[in-house]
Chains A and B, each alone.
Chain A
Amino acid sequence: MPNTYGFVPREPLIFEHSVPGRRGVELPPLDVPEAELPPEEYLRDELPLPEVSETDVVRHFTRLSQLNFAVDIGFYPLGSCTMKYNPKVNDAIANLAGFLHLHPYQDETTVQGILRLMYELQAWLGEIAGLPAVTLQPSAGAHGELTGVLIIHAYHTSKGRRRHVILVPDSAHGTNPATVAMVGYRTVSIPTGADGNMDLDALKAALNEDVAGLMITNPSTLGLFEEHILEVAEAIHSVDGLIYMDGANMNAMVGVAKPGDLGMDILHYNLHKTFSVPHGGGGPGAGATAVRADLARFLPVPVVAKEGDRYYLDYDRPESIGRVRAFYGNVNNMVRGYVYMRMLGREGLEDMSRTAVLNANYIRVQLQDLYDLPYDRICKHEVVFSGKRQAKKGVRTLDIAKRLIDFGIHPPTIYFPLIVEEALMIEPTETESKATLDHFIAVMRRIAEEAEIDPDTVRSAPHVTPVRRLDEARAARRPVLRWTPEGAS
């Protein structure tokens, strides 16, 4: 008999709950004339739907929801994803009827409130970036990248030239080269030096008049600040290329350094990372993109503008790259990001970044004696370890990640960035207490010890979940996508 008792059941499929003849609703007696059935050939003999009661259904789906892991349940140090706590006030405000029931076809005079919010959000994001012109349209980060690289293309086109190459460091998110390909450019990869910075000599060697620009992530996916960023910017600008900064890691920089001051020309934000809009499980995100003042003319239409006391959607932008999305973006998530920024204020936002960086460094220092640090220097909001030492004992990073689940911790990002062997990328975020960080550190130290004296326990983890170690290779090679009753083919 399946274990359906206790708080962490192995929940059967809804079909497996089925009992012949059980039903959720009772139809009233027929009090209308019987209609004729469709022709015989359209009817089937069997309809193998689960036969379950309302209680069965409610309990089944509620139990499934309890098997979920979320930032509201536990520590979620998924690197480069900034799984920070999402304050409930964001939802409370976003769910106010005045925001919730807006319709995109409403007349501008009836939506002055949301237009004001969007206008102010544009201005704040412009201020934080040091890049004053902002579009809120992109749906999420990679869409912001696409918008940014289309603007790079528009910039060169406006100067009457065609260029073909975008430089991308080898530590980049995979979406960067994908974006380059989407716009029709070719990626040239720039290696990372031993200090974790982009290799400046390699960058300079790759520079020529065919380079349209550079996509850079700062702090990089190694969680490290690019120490030569000003030289990098100067080099790219020397061939009149533009620099696109992937803002996935902005949680380390808000209020502390402005990308515009560092020579960046275009930046996307992930409101769903840095500004606490919920994400994971597919979004929706919000990928606002900021550009240098002289690039404003290329931004997608419409941009929210203001004239006197009136807010309006400005479509009169002849050099625009056009729309990148239907309507105006994920507006409700703009409300969440806006509320978050208002709740924290200028100083609070700076505090947010400083605390995120402090937390990551605390973990770095507490674990660096047991886990290899491929780039041993002060990190930003995330720290990248290598599980190389444990791998020599036969415990791979994947095993460490699975073992963390036994202690109620979501695994960090693993095997990324690709340039770090057995990578473990840990981003604690600013919202975790010292007690939570200490728990994580204690667990990681324990796993390192287990790797030495009891590697099998780590290799066979997780042990306390309703489903144990899954066969990922078989799941990918021979996926079972459909339930079939026993005995059926």
Chain B
Amino acid sequence: MNVPADLFYTEEHEWVRLEGEVAVVGITDYAQHELGDVVYVELPQVGDHVTQSEPFGVVESVKAASDLFAPVSGEVIEINAALEDAPELVNNDPYGQGWMIKVRPSNWEAERANLLDAEAYRRLIEQE
């Protein structure tokens, strides 16, 4: 299972990557594998505010619909509109083209402590 070393993770299987002032958010390779074929992704709107550990959207697969939990708080500055027509990007490239939202973090320094690093996340999915 692919767990890139440079990302932070949540226990609910989202990842976040800090690119300068912007946090990019998606779901992990493990999550897409467990969900099976993703058929729909419901995302917030640009300008919405998301809160760490609170739902910001829904991912629906042939198996189940699951909430997406925000790894960071902040304002949504971009959403991946490509997922509307091609939700399979989440399966094919979860850390790349399958990204979901970009957030301007409002409290990154404090919230980072609540996230897992790659090693801790890998341990988590090995237990499951």
Interface residues, chain A, with chain B CB atoms under 8 Å away: 398, 415, 418, 472-473, 476-477
Contacts and interface: CB of A to CB of B under 8 A. Distances in A.
B64 interface: yes
B62 A473 contact: yes
Contacts of B88: 473, 477
Contacts of B87: 477
Interface in B22-70: 36-37, 39-40, 60, 62-64
Contacts of B60: 476
Contacts of B39: 473, 476-477
A418 B34 CA distance: 12
B37 A472 contact: yes
Contacts of B40: 476
Given A477-B39, A477-B87, A477-B88, A472 B62 contact: yes
Given A415-B63, A472-B37, 7 more contacts: A415-B64, A418-B64, A473-B37, A473-B39, A476-B39, A477-B39, A477-B87
A418 B61 CA distance: 13
18 contacts: A398-B63, A415-B63, A415-B64, A418-B64, A472-B62, A473-B36, A473-B37, A473-B39, A473-B62, A473-B88, A476-B37, A476-B39, A476-B40, A476-B60, A476-B62, A477-B39, A477-B87, A477-B88
A398 B64 CA distance: 12
A243 to B, nearest CB: 26
Q: Is chain B's binding surface mostly helix, strand, loop or mixed?
A: loop
- Of A398, A418, A473, which is in contact with the most chain B CB atoms at under 10 Å from its CB? A473
Nearest to A477: B39
Nearest to A414: B63
Contacts of A398: 63
How extensive is the interface on chain B, given as a class? Answer: 10 to 19
Interface in B82-99: 87-88
Nearest to B86: A477
Contacts of A476: 37, 39-40, 60, 62
Contacts of A473: 36-37, 39, 62, 88
A372 to B, nearest CB: 15
Nearest to B62: A472
A73 B35 CA distance: 33
A476 B64 CA distance: 13
Nearest to A418: B64
Contacts of A472: 37, 62
Among all A-B residue pairs, the 3 with the closest Cβ atoms? A473-B37, A476-B39, A472-B62
A329 to B, nearest CB: 30
Nearest to B87: A477
Nearest to A471: B37
Nearest to A416: B64
A472 B88 CA distance: 13
A473 B36 CA distance: 9
A343 B37 CA distance: 47
A144 B66 CA distance: 25
Nearest to A174: B65
A431 B40 CA distance: 39
B80 to A, nearest CB: 16
A472 B38 CA distance: 10
A322 to B, nearest CB: 31
A297 to B, nearest CB: 37
A418 B87 CA distance: 22
Contacts of B63: 398, 415
A239 B63 CA distance: 38
Nearest to B65: A174
A415 B40 CA distance: 18
Nearest to B128: A421
Nearest to B91: A473
A398 B35 CA distance: 13
A415 B64 CA distance: 8
Contacts of A415: 63-64
B64 to A, nearest CB: 6
Contacts of A477: 39, 87-88
A472 B40 CA distance: 13
Interface string B7-31: 0000000000000000000000000
A242 B68 CA distance: 30
Nearest to B85: A477
Nearest to A397: B63
A477 B60 CA distance: 11
A398 B61 CA distance: 13
A477 B89 CA distance: 12
